[in-house]
Chains A and B, each alone.
Chain A
Amino acid sequence: MRGIDFILKRTAFALITVFVAVTINFVLFRALPGDAITNLSKVPGATPALRAELTKEFGLDKSKWAQYWVYLRKLTTGNLGVSYSTQEPVTTELWRAVGNTVPMVLLGTLFSIILGVITGVLAAWKRRTSLDYGSVGVALTFYSLPTHWLGLMLLLLTAGYLPRGGREDEFLFDPSFMAHWLDVGKHMLLPSLTLGLVLYGQYTLVTRSAMLETLGEDFILTARAKGLPDRTIVRRHAFRNAMLPVITLVALSVGYIVAGSILIETVFSWPGVGLLVSRSVERRDWPVLQGAFLLLTISVVFFNYVADLLYYEFDPRITT
């Protein structure tokens, strides 16, 4: 069957990358010299009993190699240690945050892809018209804005109309189911919009250049020769081919999305993984930071992997 090789190769690459990330994680937090190096047992305000338990659990009295081994074993069971600031297991905190981050990021990313692809296709189709120059200009501008600054600008502009931050209104007394989710949606609007706006610019640019490249292919000339109207050519022949690089870009920009969500969640106090990262940086809460880093890395690797498979699905030429 076509592509078993391909899938195996990409799977292997993804797994090795995760392993590399896991190792970097260990080295960064526990093997590098420096005054900020973690010792998982130094949980502030912890009882001696808890410390002793953690020392034993993570083998902190043993060699680095032994610690590494323990660390790997703990990872397989999902044990990432205990938060310094809340003394809750890191995994619990992460899961709660993921539940908040995912919808916000999905909404923003979806918005950016739709906006980026539409403006990119139009710009390429109507090349060298004011529509083209306009879309590219606006896209480049949004692409250049610092993420958190754009968030702050939106806050300034919407002051009084939309909630300033957080996930829900704490003072909404015993809201109905509908009222509660409406409230959450309102809180989510600005973070998602910010993410969408900072992301869409590069999608526009890449879609446009991919479309232009495709429109220069001979089979587009064939399609025109067949007498097909422009709209059919764009939709049926150019669009699908041009989407191949866009898929790759969307996947590659997952890293960028992650960076954006850290900044955006900090601006809007949206209680997701990003806010967890910035809070744990502030409090030097190493176990949480380490867990979040690992989670973000693995999700980026995972999405790159999915993009590879999608690319394979869309492009019949790929065999290896």
Chain B
Amino acid sequence: MSTVLEHEPGVETGSSTRRLRAAIWAILKDRPSAIVGAAVLALFVLVAVFAPLIAPHGLHERIGPPFGTPGAYPPLGLDDGGGDILSLLMWGARISLMVGFAASLVAIMIGGTVGVIAGYFGGVTDTVLMRITDYFLAIPDVPLMIVVAAIWGPSLWHIVLVIGLLLWTSTARIVRAQVKSVRERVYVKRARALGAGNARIIFRHVLPQVAPLLVANTVLTIAVAIFDETALAFLGLSDPSKISWGKMIKNATGSAAVSAGAWWTIVPPGVCVALVILACTLVGQALEDALNPRLRVAHLAARGFRLLPRMLRDDK
């Protein structure tokens, strides 16, 4: 009976987004690394959103000679086309983050749907869907992405779709496992006994329980999606008209920046990608960790118990 009471009030209040936000905040605030990650992520999102307002120069503006040094054109110098690197980073953030968020949205939608259906209905549906997932898991996604992107031709939406369509498998597995356990909880069984329909049970009872895990998974997927965009751009499969961080790295290598020693064209976009991936990983892992607590005791530690002098007990 206590289980029912524990879960019931939260489910009934209805404002599940607020609850989710509160839950996520509660998890993050005890983990300094996750706070840093979330702050970095927020900063990049702000820069991306306000790029048109804060970027010192326009996207296609030429303000000096190719490979102008950071000394001559502070703070970060110029790229092969004489464009301001700092401005390009800000504009690039829009595309890179957009691809990251949109692609993981696609992945989460597909993976979430497959996971919920497989976990909730079980039986043959589950077996069939999970077999399909297994096969997709076994096929290396980057080569498949390359092939599909090459065949479809370079366009931003193709990239988003290609990445999204291939990243859903791990989400599906994780969600399925969670749904399976939620399904067996007392209040879900009771809702079913009371005659609630499947759709109602899924949306009112199952999804709110799966949501935090889904958020954690989304954050991790964003990191992979941004990585994949960078990789596809490097192989010349990105939209030629759009500047992303990946495209900036590609342009720099294509224009022989390495042999020219123009490190300032290569270092900044890579650092941005790395920072975003690191931030997503820190946040995502903190969330996952908190939601799936592993065993925290270790019987073997860096040091054993301490020997306290006898008098110590008196100072209590």
Contacts and interface: CB of A to CB of B under 8 A. Distances in A.
Asked if A and B form a direct contact in the complex, defined as CB atoms under 8 angstroms apart, the reply is: yes
Interface of A: 13, 16-17, 20-21, 24, 28-29, 32, 34-37, 124-129, 140-141, 143-150, 152-153, 155-156, 159, 164, 209, 212-213, 215-218, 220-221, 224, 230, 233-234, 238, 254-256, 258-259, 262-263, 266-267, 277-278, 281-282, 284, 289-290, 292-293, 296-297, 300-301, 304
B144 interface: yes
A282 B236 contact: yes
Contact of A32 (B144, B146, B151, B249): B151
Interface residues of B, number: 52
Contacts of B143: 258-259, 262, 277, 292-293, 296-297
Nearest to B258: A155
Q: Give the most central of B147, B261, B269: most A CB within 10 Å.
A: B147
A217 B152 contact: no
Given A148-B249, A153-B267, A293-B144, A221 B299 contact: yes
A213 B261 CA distance: 47
A16 B261 CA distance: 49
Given A34-B151, A152-B266, A159-B261, A146 B301 contact: no
A146 B150 contact: no
Nearest to B253: A152
A263 B263 contact: no
A180 B80 CA distance: 37
21 contacts: A13-B134, A16-B135, A20-B139, A28-B147, A124-B298, A127-B298, A140-B282, A144-B223, A145-B274, A148-B234, A149-B273, A156-B261, A258-B142, A258-B143, A259-B231, A262-B142, A262-B146, A266-B235, A289-B147, A289-B150, A301-B138
Q: What are the 7 closest A-B residue pairs judged by CB atoms, nearest first?
A: A259-B142, A149-B270, A255-B140, A144-B278, A144-B277, A216-B295, A215-B298
Interface in B257-301: 258-259, 261, 263, 266-267, 269-270, 273-275, 277-278, 281-282, 294-301
Contacts of B146: 262, 277, 281, 289, 293
A296 B294 CA distance: 35
Contacts of A125: 300, 302
B140 A266 contact: no
A128 B302 contact: yes
Given A213-B295, A262-B142, A262-B143, A278 B278 contact: no
A184 B146 CA distance: 29
Contacts, number: 174
Interface of B is mostly: helix
Contacts of A267: 253
B141 interface: yes
Contact of B142 (A127, A149, A255, A281): A255
Interface of A is mostly: helix
A142 to B, nearest CB: 9
Given A24-B139, A148-B234, A284 B266 contact: no
Given A34-B151, A263-B234, A213 B300 contact: no
Contacts of A32: 151
Contacts of A129: 302
Nearest to A156: B263
Contacts of B301: 127-128
A282 B273 CA distance: 24
Contacts of B294: 209, 212-213
